[in-house]
Amino acid sequence: MSGHSKWATIKRKKAKTDVGRAKAWNKLIKEISIAAKLGGGNPDANPRLRAAILKAKGQSLPAKNIDSAIAKATGEGKGIVMEEPSYEGRGPGGVAILVKCMTDNKTRTVSNIRNIFNKNGGSMGESGSVAWAFTHKGVILVDGTKYTEDKVMDLVLDAGADDMSTEDGIHEISTKPESFESVTRALEGAGIEMVSAEISYVPNDPVKVSHDDAQKLLKLLEKFEDDEDVQDVYHSAEISDEDMDSAE
């Protein structure tokens, strides 16, 4: 997706109903909990936890919820063993879709993911069938109305970012996964707030889809997002603002 599409997606998520927001927050809390359980509760010493917290803050998860998730995860209880499978497939218009999950029951999860694909105009593929269509990278968004392009660009490039572009008042910074930490720390050190910061899967060649396919795809994505085992969904479609708005 273009930077504009990324920003449009974030705005759409932030504007969801309370029920939708609660579901999104639950996924964020799950990721924070697993990261803390695996690597400890100190984000300075746990890059995965730090990334999860940055993402959570970008979606307005309250600090008390973040602290609570870390405290529970690092407590004495061992909890449930979670796995993190990924599933791939095609959606309406042949769009590549990558679904990242977190589950305590892979049999349940794979069945649910396959059903969502099949019942909503998509088809589930084999492992590796569409992963090649994405690049794993850090994506950081900064409000361009608050911070000038020159100031942000010089800072992030010196910190190891690969590129930065500006569209619709938003600076989008891309990094290699291994440079994500140094770039976000550089922004924080300079007092620059991040609208969003996450290690994502970005499509190599975004595909423009028709209005009808866009509407079908957005419904499919909503079904994935509503599934409690799904953490993130990535796709290769380039969806217009008009199609985004008409799906609200």
Q: What is the band of 202 on the pLDDT scale with cuts at 50, 70, 90?
A: very high
- Residue 38: phi and psi, rounded to 5, are -80, -35
Question: Which residue ranges does the chain devote to CATH 3.30.70.980?
Answer: 86-132+206-246, 133-203
- The pLDDT of residue 4 is 42
For residue 98, which amino acid is it? L
Fold of 133-203: Alpha-Beta Plaits (3.30.70)
Rg (CA), the chain: 18
Q: Which CATH number fits domain 86-132+206-246: 3.40.50.9100, 3.30.70.980, 2.170.150.20, 3.30.870.10?
A: 3.30.70.980
Q: What is the mean pLDDT of residues 114-121?
A: 96
- The pLDDT of residue 2 is 35
What pLDDT, in 10s, does the model give residues 4-37? 456 656 555 555 555 567 788 889 999 999 999 8
Helix axis angle for 180-189 and 149-158, nearest 10°, is: 130
Q: Do residues 130 and 234 make contact, with C-beta atoms less than 8 angstroms apart?
A: no
Q: What is the band of 78 on the pLDDT scale with cuts at 50, 70, 90?
A: low
Name which residue leads in pLDDT, 124 or 38.
Answer: 124
- The pLDDT of residue 15 is 55
Residues 6 or more apart whose Cβ sits within 8 Å of residue 31: 52, 55, 56, 102, 231
What does the DSSP 8-state code read for residue 24?
A: H
Q: What is the band of 58 on the pLDDT scale with cuts at 50, 70, 90?
A: confident
Q: Within 13 A of 200's CA, how many CA atoms are on the CB side?
A: 23
The residue with tokens 């405290």 is 71
Q: What is the band of 119 on the pLDDT scale with cuts at 50, 70, 90?
A: very high
Q: What percent of the chain has pLDDT over 70?
A: 88
User: Taking 90 as the threshold, does the pLDDT of residue 240 lie above it?
Assistant: no
What pLDDT, in 10s, does the model give residues 120-140? 999 999 999 999 999 999 999
85: number of Cβ within 10 Å: 15
Question: Which residue ranges does the chain devote to CATH 1.10.10.200?
Answer: 3-73
Has domain 3-73 been given CATH number 1.10.10.200? yes
pTM for the whole structure: 0.82
* Distance, CA of 81 to CA of 74 (rounded, Å): 14
- The pLDDT of residue 8 is 58
Q: What b/e string do you get for 203-229 counting C-beta neighbours within 10 Å, with b at 16 or more?
A: beebbebeeebbbbbbebbebbbebeb
Strands 207-208 and 237-238: parallel
The residue with tokens 């990094």 is 175
Query: Mean of the per-residue pLDDT values for the chain?
Result: 88
User: Taking 90 as the threshold, does the pLDDT of residue 213 lie above it?
Assistant: yes
